Each structure stands twice: as C-alpha cells, then as structure tokens.
Chain A
Amino acid sequence: MRLLLKGGHVVDPQNGLDETMDVLVRQGKVVAVDTAIDAEDARVLDVCGKVVLPGLIDMHVHLREPGREDEETIETGTLAAARGGFVAVACMPNTDPPLDTGAAVRFVLSRARETGYVRVLPVGAITRGLGGTELAEIGELRRAGAVAISDDGRPVTNATVMRHAMEYASMFDMPVISHAEDAELSAGGAINEGYWSTRLGLPGIPAAAEETMVARDIFLAELTGARLHIAHVSTAGSVELIRRAKEKGILVTCEATPHHFTLTDEAVAGYDTNTKVNPPLRTQRDVEAVRQGLADGTIDVIASDHAPHTAEEKEVEYELAAFGMIGLETSLALAVTELVRPGILTLGQLVERMSYGPAKTLGLDWPGIVPGAEANITVLDPDASFVVDPAGFASRSRNTPFSGRRLFGKVVATVVEGRIAYEAGVS
C-alpha cells in the first residue's frame, strides 16, 4: 500500500526539514520527501495546514497487561497511544506478574503483535519481582526484547543493588530508568510537602525525597559509567542536579511529564484524587524549573507516565487513592498548549523531546522522515482545539485531572510502520 501525505509542513530537525513537503510512503518505508509528489494509486491524505512530524514516542506508560486488564490492556492502551499521536510506547514492568523474565517480555510483545495499534517497547525489571534485592536476568530480558530496565513505581533502595544493576546493564548498553524516591522520606505521603499539604492536612512528600535519590543515582552513574535515565523529574532541585551532572559529562538523561510542567499542588484543593500522582504535583517554582529544563535541553524527554486506575481505586479517601493519572490522550496537546504556544519550545524542540529524545535514550534506530526510513509519522494540527472529555478516551481508565480543560493540538493521523494506526474522524 502506498500513502501520500500531501501539503503538510514537515518539521524534522535532525533532517533539517522545516518546510512544506509531500511525504510518500510505500511498503512501510518513507520513499520520497519532496515538493509536489504525484503518485497514482496512493492513498492521499490532504494535510495542508497541518504539521508532519517524526513519529512520537512515549517512553513511560503503564499498559497493565498482564494482571490488571480491568485498568488497561495492550489493545486499549496502544489505541490510546495512537489517538494521542504516539507511534511507540515503552511499557513499565510493574505488571502482575512483573516483566522480570524473558517469558513475560515475550508475552507482552506477542500480545502487542496480536492486539496492538502502535509499537510496544517493553521495559524489563531491574530486580526479581521488583523486590529491590536480586537482579533480574537482564541479559535474558534484553534478548527477549526489553529496551531498558526499571523497577518503576518502586525505588531501588539498596545502593549496592543499583550499582550492580547499572554495571550489569551497561554490558548490554541498556539504560537503567530510575524511579527516584527515598521511601523513608516519602513514607505515608500523599501530596507535595509544602503550603498545600499543610493547608489541606494531607501528609507530605518533600522534594528532598526525590532529590536525594537523583543525587545518589547520578553518583552511581559516574561510578559505573552506565547510562542512567531519571523518570518523571518533578522538582527544581532534580533539574539542577541533572544539569550539573550533564555538564560533568555523566551519562544521564531524564524525562518530565505533562502534569509536572502544567499543574501545581494547588490542584489538590478540593481533594480530587485524580490529582494524586507519584511524584506529586509540586510548586510553581518547580513547574518553572521543569519548563526551563525542557527549554534548555536538560530534560531530554516528555513522557506521560500514563497510569490507568479504575474509578473504584480513585473514588475513595485521598490518602487511600491509588497514585497515578492517565496521559496518552492529552500529553501531546498539553505540550503544544503549555510549551509550544507560549514559546517555551519550538515545534522542532518538541520533536526532540517527544521523538528523537526518547529514541536516543532507548537506543532505537530512529532516522526520522527521510527516504529509506521506517515510516513512523505523526500528523498534528497545532491550532485546532478541543475540550478534554475522558468519556471519549480509548483508554479503559478515566483518571485524568484535565477533564474539561480546553487544549490546543489535535492529532490528525498517526502512521506506524507505514500503516495508519489512527486517523481523525475515522474510528
């Protein structure tokens, strides 16, 4: 099948493209990027006035399969991804059972082949059972197709275990993704420790709970020479630590979520449990620091930390509610609305943070929109707006704090390996 994207504005900084171009796709590959391509018998998608981007990757999602298919499945999660403009997602290993064996990773990949709408990149566990003590068979995870390792959702408390994980993973050139949290400092906490925790009477999680662990892992990355990726950076202090580590040449990358560059802990007033997330929503100063980190490249990646939960897990007392919010279907629009439209990021920088950044971090071959490359393309209308309506989400869960918010940036089409995984107006 041939596909012609006609008249779109191609923004691909790595290939020096920022102009109106047609893109022709055949047999899963980009075959031509040029002005005025004519191709008979090709399916033509008129994308005049839209932007055509290298396919976006969300490198931090929870697909919940196996084990919690009531929250999300690989099918619903990857459909949500396609609708959100993502051609690939990296899924975290805290499933049930966890992705701590080659068999579990192969299961996810096989379910993705059978039911998935976009490419699924499994992240394997650092330790067996995510228990934080014994290393998982990282070589086996790699062979099965894991792109990184993480005990996401739980910190690796023991520094020696983390050190060994980094040393071991570096043999396979796999990044170690750190969920940076000192579990003693954060124990019992529900929201950011500060004025709002005081006012609302909710137990707080201090910024230092994240920052002490970011600092530890940076020192371990320096010690081991391994590739460290800090997940969901939420504080000004973490951004500063990572900025300095990068200046020293330590191999550290990091990501920030849309909720951490958009919302503050003030959103918790009213006790809407959809605002409960780990790490918690922080202060305005932290939001500014995350935005600055995204602008200057200290933060390499925007990732959603899409964490589906059922209504039953959320419609309870705030302290009892599950941590996490979904993000696949709002992530790109939040980035457009909160970062691109205010001029914090150019569209080219957005592509770096949402396509090349995650690809580089995960070591993917990611050539962009260039002849010969696998055709992974996101078509976006950055000026179209919509009101977030969780009832219309493809995700099986509805736990978003952005319900009712007007956002800019509608996905027009998501092309995965030459195939249209999602097209606006076509269900």
Chain B
Amino acid sequence: MPLRHKDLLGLEYLEREEIELILDTAVPMKEIFTRDIKKLPTLRGKTMVNLFYEPSTRTRTSFELAGKWMSADVTNIATSTSSVVKGENLKDTARTLEALGANFIVIRHQMAGAPHLVARTVKASVINAGDGRHEHPTQALLDLFTIRERLGRIEGLKVTIVGDILHSRVARSNIWGLTKLGAHVTVCGPRTLIPPEISRMGVEVTCDLGEALADADVVNVLRLQLERQKKGLFPSIREYSDLYGLTRKRVEKCKPGVLILHPGPANLGVEITEEVAEGPNAAVHEQVTNGVACRMAVLYLLSGGGKPGEIAA
C-alpha cells in the first residue's frame, strides 16, 4: 500500500494506518542506512530540491542524506528570510523548480500554509519540513519512531510536551501523531506560550511542570526561541529555566525509564541541562539517526513504494 497522497503536508492529514505504514517502513530503512553500503536505487533519476527559507542544519542535512541514500539527485536552495518580505513570489519559485525537473520539493518556510500553496501549484511531491508554527511532520514521525523503538509501543503512553507550545510546529505535529496513535498528550509551558483552545486538539494543558512530569512515560522538551523574551512573553530566561527547565533533579522525580526527547538544537542550560540531554533517559542523538530513516520512508512511500517487506535488502 503506497501513501494515498501526493504530498506530506502534515500529520493532521494522515490516517493512523498511514502513519504506522511510514513508521513500519522506516524500520528497514534504518537497517539499510546503518550498514556499510547505504544506497537504495529507489529514486534513481529523480530530483529532490530542498527549498529552505529558514536556517536549518539538521533537518536539511537529514533530508539531503535521505535523498542521496535513495539515489536521488539532491540540490539545496537556501533563501533568506528577507527575500520573502521583499515579495519573492513563492508560486513562481515553485513553478521554476518544477520546470527545472524537481520531483520532490522539500520546503521549510516561516509561514504556515506555504507548503500547501506550493503543493497546489506543482505536480511534484511536496514535503513540509516545517511551516511557521503549523507542522513539522517528519520531526514528529521521528519522535514517534524513537518512542516506539525505545518503549515498544505508543498506544496508551503518557507523553508530555514542554515549552513554547504557541510557536511550535513540532508540538502540533506531535499532537496529531500521538493522539492518532492512541497516546495521552499533555502540553506544559507558561500561560503566555500556550495557544488558545489547544485542549480541543485532544490534549491536557497545565502550566505546572511538576504535575506534567509526574506520570509521564515520555517528555518531549521544545527548544525555546530566546528572542521571545523580548516580546514580553516571559520575563527572563532565568525565570523560564527555573520554572520549565528539565534538570536531573526533576528527571529523578519522574517515572523510572522515562524517555526524554528534544528536537534540537537545544539551548543547554535553558530548557534542558546538558546532563539530562546526554543522560541515559535521553535519545537526542538516536532521534537524529531515526530522522534519516523516517525521511527515507516518506520519500519511498511518496514515490509509490509499497510495503516495507518489498524493500530490496
């Protein structure tokens, strides 16, 4: 069963079975790219363009390697934020990329819905690599994959997402993926960084970190954009860290074996201490590895690939 979509715009638009298919497909992908000869021929002769309107190292590199290991020709376009403000026309850019022969357009953009606009404009498959505060579906897929790999399941788990929920596309994609797969999700952060009516997305909301951590099986710590402080959303980094920073002391009060995730790059000492991020409960580096596998799975399925068992080993 291939994915019934031309594009991957968000986990919001996927059925539970489709998310599970991607996760299942990522398992052999991980085996393939962790062995010595990494290449799969699936995307030979196909072109993938990374169109990044925001700075990104890990997501862009991860997509680039995923494409290369699937034998696609990969090209990167980094476009500065200023060109958007200057009125560079996204539709026009998308049409140009298609005319240049792009089969996949991976887009990172600071505005929600930008990948949707591209997807409506071109026949190429569009993969959302983060749109504003809307979604970052492959990040959530790799988080789901990591949880499943570490804890063996997702259904019934209690997952807490801590931090700037308001501006976080990682949070939104995780909420869609986790709730569709049967986890119980709690979001936690200062009231100024909790978006209105988020409970209608099927999550619990608390501003009390102790409460949010108490019975969590998984804690996903979000990166704090330090410039939010200047906008008056919280009084100081110090106070944020004091109220919401994940420290060893706080982890010790969690369930034993609690899994700690962070999408990176972390502000070590702000939302998470280095001790915790590098500690036995954290899976920060596995997340990065799993990201490549999940992106390979997405590329494979969007290019019409079938069941995980059909992948040439």
Contact = CB atoms under 8 A, between A and B. Distances in A.
Contacts of A204: 195-196
Contact of A199 (B87, B111, B201): B201
A315 interface: yes
A198 B90 contact: no
Nearest to B88: A316
B116 to A, nearest CB: 5
A37 B137 CA distance: 71
A195 interface: yes
Contacts of B89: 312, 316
Contacts of A270: 116
B135 interface: yes
Nearest to B115: A271
Given A316-B89, A317-B109, A318-B111, A201 B84 contact: no
Given A194-B197, A197-B195, A316 B91 contact: yes
A320 B131 CA distance: 14
B249 interface: no
A198 B113 contact: no
Contacts of A202: 112-113, 132-134
Interface in B189-211: 195-198, 200-201
B134 A320 contact: no
Contact of B197 (A198, A201, A312): A198
Interface string B87-118: 10111000000000000000001011110110
Given A316-B90, A320-B111, A201 B169 contact: yes
Contacts, number: 66
Contact of B112 (A195, A315, A319): A319
B114 A317 contact: yes
A270 B89 CA distance: 19
Contacts of B109: 317
Contacts of A195: 196-197, 200-201
Interface in A191-208: 193-195, 197-204
A361 B293 CA distance: 65
A193 B196 contact: yes
Nearest to B91: A315
Contact of B117 (A201, A271, A312): A271
Interface size class of A (residues with CB under 8 A): 20 to 34
Interface centre among A194, A201, A271, A316, by most chain B C-beta atoms within 10 angstroms, is A201
A204 B195 CA distance: 9
Contacts of B201: 195, 198-199
A192 B132 CA distance: 17
A201 B112 contact: yes
A320 B89 CA distance: 10
A198 B200 CA distance: 10
A318 B197 contact: no
Nearest to B131: A201
A396 to B, nearest CB: 21
A318 B196 contact: no
Contact of A200 (B90, B91, B113, B198): B113
A167 to B, nearest CB: 35
Interface centre among B134, B196, B200, by most chain A C-beta atoms within 10 angstroms, is B196
A204 B194 CA distance: 13
Contact of A271 (B113, B172, B196): B113
B263 to A, nearest CB: 16
Nearest to B168: A201
Contacts of A201: 112, 131-135, 169, 172
A166 B91 CA distance: 45
B90 A317 contact: yes
A332 B141 CA distance: 48
Contact of A318 (B12, B87, B112): B112
Contacts of A200: 112-113, 134
B147 to A, nearest CB: 23
A197 B196 CA distance: 8
Contacts of B84: 317, 320
A155 B198 CA distance: 30
Nearest to B200: A195
Nearest to A271: B113
Interface string A200-236: 1111100000000000000000000000000000000
A317 B113 CA distance: 7
Contacts of B112: 200-202, 271, 318-319
A393 to B, nearest CB: 22
Contacts of B135: 201
Nearest to B132: A201
Nearest to A201: B134
A319 B111 contact: yes
A316 B87 CA distance: 9
A318 B172 CA distance: 18
Contacts of A320: 84, 87, 111
Interface in A117-161: none
Contacts of B114: 317
A319 B53 CA distance: 15
A100 B132 CA distance: 39
Nearest to A188: B231
Contacts of A194: 196-197
A205 to B, nearest CB: 12
B197 A271 contact: no
Contacts of A318: 111-113
Contacts of B196: 193-195, 197-198, 204
Given A193-B196, A201-B132, A317 B117 contact: yes
9 contacts: A195-B196, A198-B198, A198-B200, A200-B113, A202-B113, A204-B195, A271-B117, A315-B91, A315-B117
Interface of A: 193-195, 197-204, 270-271, 312, 315-320
